[in-house]
Every structure is written in C-alpha cells, then in structure tokens.
Amino acid sequence: MFTSPGHITPCLWFDTQAHEAAEFYVGIFPNSQIKRIVDCPRSEHEFHRERAGTVLAVTFTLNGISMMALNGGPQFQFSEAISLQVSCQTQDDVDYYWDRLSAGGDPQAQQCGWLKDKYGVSWQVVPDAVQQMLGGDDPARSERVMNALLAMKKLDMAALEAAYVGN
C-alpha cells in the first residue's frame, strides 16, 4: 500500500541547454524560480560526455509547478507528441505567453495555439474558454469554433467567441 501520493515532475531532455532553457522559462512565468543546479559529477563524465563541473540538471518551478531540465546529450529530440499547455484567462495573457515562448522558435510549427520555442519544446497557449466552447451541447457552435481555431496560429479569443455565437 502506498503511504503518500506520487509527485509528478516533468523532465525536459536537452542536449546542453538545460540551464539556459530553465532561466528562459523562469523569466516568463510568475511564481517561478531555479531551485537547484546539479553539476555533472566526475563519475558520470564518460556517460554524459561532458567535463566534470558542467551542468547536468536543473530543478525549477514554473508558476509553482516542479520541473526538471536535463543535459542528456543530442540523442533525443523534442516532438509535438508532448507539449506543455498554458491556460489563459484573457487575450492579453494569450499574447504575453505566445510572444515570449515563440520568440526565436520555429514559425512553421505554429498552428491552433501550438508553438515550438527556441529549444524545440512544444507549447499550447490556450484560452480557458476554448474547452467550454468546444465541449458545449450545441454541435454547430463547437464545429464553428473548431473551424475558426484550425485557421489560426495564435488564438484570437474575440474571433473564437464570434464563431461560437455564429457571427
């Protein structure tokens, strides 16, 4: 029997940019900070191909959520199969997170509120209202919202609301 709930911490695997990426993300989200930086120990030098003293891992929080960034080497790359979703209340929130997270990222990987940042991590910047609009009782409204959403890169709350009401 388990005595405590499992704590889940997403771990992002970078080649060598873990510390840089953690600093980037912490600079965007409120209530965020670097918690710990772990250098590569001498015993791991051969495995990680890094010299002793370089950063191996960074633990940090993003808006109070525990995260880890690992310098694991180039063998694994990020893909859209995993993304981090940012829930937004207002268009100003959408604009803020979209503009900062997409800066230097891949403009070709932007669609339907999804973006890829300069480190290759996929994000979804989504107004909370989208879930309600898509999950409502009126299939015609949901279809109009989905069609509007599919035509967007950064989500436009006013346009989505207009689609929802039929304008």
Q: Where are the domains of the chain?
A: 1-76, 78-167
Task: Classify 1-76 by CATH class.
Answer: alpha beta
Q: State the burial class of residue 42 (Cβ atoms within 10 Å of its Cβ: 0-12, 13-18, 19+).
A: exposed
Can you give the pTM of this predicted structure? 0.89
Compute CA distances 115 → 25, 33, 38, whole Å.
14, 23, 29
100-153 pLDDT, tens digit each:
999 999 999 899 999 999 999 999 999 999 999 999 889 999 999 999 999 999
CATH superfamily of 78-167: 2,3-Dihydroxybiphenyl 1,2-Dioxygenase, domain 1 (3.10.180.10)
